[in-house]
Amino acid sequence: MIMMKKLISIVLVCMMILLSLSGCSAKPVSAPDDDYRNWYEIFVYSFYDSNGDGIGDLNGVTEKLDYIADMSFNGIWLMPIMQSPSYHKYDVADYYTIDSQYGTNADFQTLVEQAHKRGIRVIIDLPVNHTSSENQWFIAAKDVNSPYHGWYNWSDKPSVGYHELSDMLYYEGRFQSGMPDLNLESGEVRAEIEKIMDFWLNDMGADGFRLDACTSYYTDDQQKSVDFLGWLNTEAKTVKPGSFVVGEVWSVLTTIQTYYRSGVDSLFCFPTANTDGYLAAAVNSSKPEKAASIYCDALTTLQNSLGDVIISPFLDNHDLARSAGFLGTDETKIKFAAGLLSILPGGTFVYYGDEIGMKGTGNDPNKRIGMLWTTEDKTTKPPPGATSVKYSFPSVKDQEKDKNSILNYYKAAMKLRAECPEIARGTVEILQSPINSVAILKKTYNGSSIYIAINFSSEKQQLTLNSNLGITKTIGQLSVNGKSTAKIKSAGAQLTLAPYGILVLD
């Protein structure tokens, strides 16, 4: 049976390759070869409340699927949704039940069904480093004679990362005492994880998993952690061929490179994110020529270091300060950063609310406040522990009406990315530019090439590209406050790039 499932998986992959497009042809986001190109991260608690209790829920996500599809996202990552005693739900009490705050198992199945109708895939967080201390497995494991005792890690003396249960009995809980670590060497634990994956992928219809804290599977043993990640990825695809698995390796590029040896579909590209990431460094640079160099060097580094893998670049997420803050609450910078993100390779992830310039810093609850759909009094209530709830830009409703809003810039950027497979899947070549503050990129995928011109300057730039490039048309453009244009003549493509403008050419 396992061999048959693996054979089916190979056949499906081959079919997807045969169906792949050549060139940029404005195909629907639901096409079978779009390879998880545009992702949207959702903290259900704070997204949209459908029943008036002040807490977001799965039915609320379902109600907003048209919004998500209209933004050209073809994948949703739901942060933990399983039964848990905490607001963040990374400490799972029951792996087979939707948390009652969010709804029911049937609500999740409805969400998946409706998402699939719109060409949107749904992956869920799968935290298996640890459980909740309220999980029935751990409650039973406190009895040293219980068959569940071996599901956790124990010591008879105090040690770093261990918590006292009773005299001469300590359990491992690296994150906190309420999160006892699972014994991932246990055959019984691994068999249970297989059942959990089968349940969510097949019974519930999920399309894959986001795996939390992959570097912490085995403390101070990178190879074991890599091997376990590989096992999870293989089992997911055995259970359901075509399942997508993306892992969190919060580390430098060399470490991320090592974890790709697991064979996992993708890993989050932390070097693009946060205040010190490639994108912020380029956007916040006061020297346009340096900004262009930073961005081009980043593209080259990622390609040369990681090779032919699918990366998952992003600006921020639920653990990091929101990008609107570290970009100085500057609308121009926020838009330009979104534009630069949108033309990176791989599968980009956008954290809910970033598309309207939401801010959040400090403790984790501050980074997970309610999505501003209309007015503040109609948002979800702040997560427990939030100390700052402030919105610097208008609501979704208001920004939808403004063609120059952050929201509409994001929409244009994600749409362009969805329509052009070369952007997300192409190999990149940095071409010589006649102006140092303008970067010229060539991206090639399946024999089709496109060109991207990026103005890193606050001034309008005009330039002419070599006619040997064979450019015949403009595919799309992104502009923070003006219009970029291209005139195609026999002498070459004459470009006028608005400040921080991006032109995509064929």
Measured at the CA of 199, the angle between CA 197 and CA 202, to 5 degrees, comes to: 95
DSSP letter assigned to residue 330 = -
CA gyration radius for the chain?
A: 23
Distance from C-alpha of 153 to C-alpha of 133, rounded to nearest angstrom: 13
Which residue is associated with the tokens 């040690």? 159
Q: 248 an active-site residue?
A: yes
Q: 212 an active-site residue?
A: yes
Could you say which of 181, 248, 355, 506 is catalytic?
Answer: 248
Could you say which of 212, 316, 422, 506 is catalytic?
Answer: 212
Joined together, the tokens standing for residue 144 give 């040293």
Helix axes 187-198, 222-239, angle to 10 degrees: 40
Q: Are 313 and 352 in contact (CB under 8 A)?
A: no
Distance from C-alpha of 392 to C-alpha of 353, rounded to nearest angstrom: 12
DSSP letter assigned to residue 382 = P
> How many Å is the maximal CA-CA distance in the chain?
84
Strand runs (DSSP E) across 153-295, as ranges? 154-155, 162-166, 169-172, 208-211, 244-247, 266-269
Distance from C-alpha of 99 to C-alpha of 93, rounded to nearest angstrom: 9
Please state the separation of Cα 242 from the chain's center in Å: 18
Q: Are 263 and 233 in contact (CB under 8 A)?
A: yes
Measured at the CA of 78, the angle between CA 198 and CA 330, to 5 degrees, comes to: 155
Measured at the CA of 191, the angle between CA 185 and CA 192, to 5 degrees, comes to: 105
How far apart, in Å, are the Cα atoms of 267 and each of 88, 261, 476? 22, 11, 29
Joined together, the tokens standing for residue 290 give 């340096």
Task: Give which of 309, 323, 289 is closest to 456, Cα–Cα.
Answer: 289
Active-site amino acid positions: 212, 248
